Amino acid sequence: MGGKQVQITTTMPAPYHENSILESWFNAINQAQEYILIEDQYWRIPILLDAIIQRMRDVPQLRLVVITMPINEWTDGGCYWTYEGHERLSAEFPDRYRLYQLRSFDSVVTWGWDETESRFVDMYIHSKLLLVDDKFLSVGSCNKNNRGVIYEREMSAAVLDPDWVAQQRRRILTNLLKRPVSDDPQVWFGEMAVSAAWNDGVYAAWDDEGWDIDNGDGSAPLPATWSPVGV
């Protein structure tokens, strides 16, 4: 529809031995020049991580943004590889790698007079998205973990189309930042970092106050220092 070519890629274990999802991801990452953007329920895929690290070594301007779920070391059996990957990337590319978690925010006046309470809620991310350089996009059922690309049955859609992929990247980032975004990866990479740092400060401020403040009857907007920016 609309003249766009979409390739269906799959993981199908024996007897089919089909791994075209992983093949398409390898091909895209091995040609990345500007950015890799991942949004996924999981972030533990050593088989792909090595390729990303090597490509970031080869291309000094390449940036990586990962948006994923928080994990618990006591209940999540795969937590080791999430931590391991994050540590490797943080140590080698501190200025070119960012890991983000999504939260929503609201506030409510309680007790009927002047106590404004915060409401921070973690978002459950279930997307399985990969974008590279405003050229390649892959989305489907396959998570960023080894089993999804090796022996589970999965299906994704891959698109190689600069105009369409750029449009999707703008839509995704605008939804997160709640403002129009630049087409320059260096600029929007920085904008995401600034927004995240601001929101971390807002979260810490509410935490310091015990999650409620005196803000009159709540009819006036929250002061800026108590208001997150975007998601």
Q: What is the pLDDT of residues 11-61, one digit of tens each?
A: 998 899 999 999 999 999 999 999 999 999 999 999 999 999 999 999 999
Mean residue pLDDT of the chain comes to 92
Average pLDDT estimate for 154-166: 96
Contacts of 219 (CB under 8 A, 6+ apart): none
Q: How far is CA 26 from the centre of its chain?
A: 19
Whether the predicted pLDDT of 112 surpasses 80: no
Q: Which residues contact 10 (CB under 8 A, 6 or more apart)?
A: 18, 20, 21, 153, 154, 155, 156
Cα gap 101→68, rounded to integer Å: 6
ω into residue 162 within 30 of 0, thus cis? no
Q: pLDDT tens, 196-215?
A: 999 999 999 999 999 988 87
Q: What is the mean pLDDT of residues 180-184?
A: 94
pLDDT (0 to 100) of residue 222: 86
pTM for the predicted model, two decimal places: 0.92
Q: For residue 145, what are the CA distances in angstroms to 81, 149, 155, 210?
A: 9, 7, 14, 37
Long-range contacts of 72-81 (CB under 8 A, 24+ apart): 78/42, 78/44, 78/145, 81/44, 81/45, 81/46, 81/145
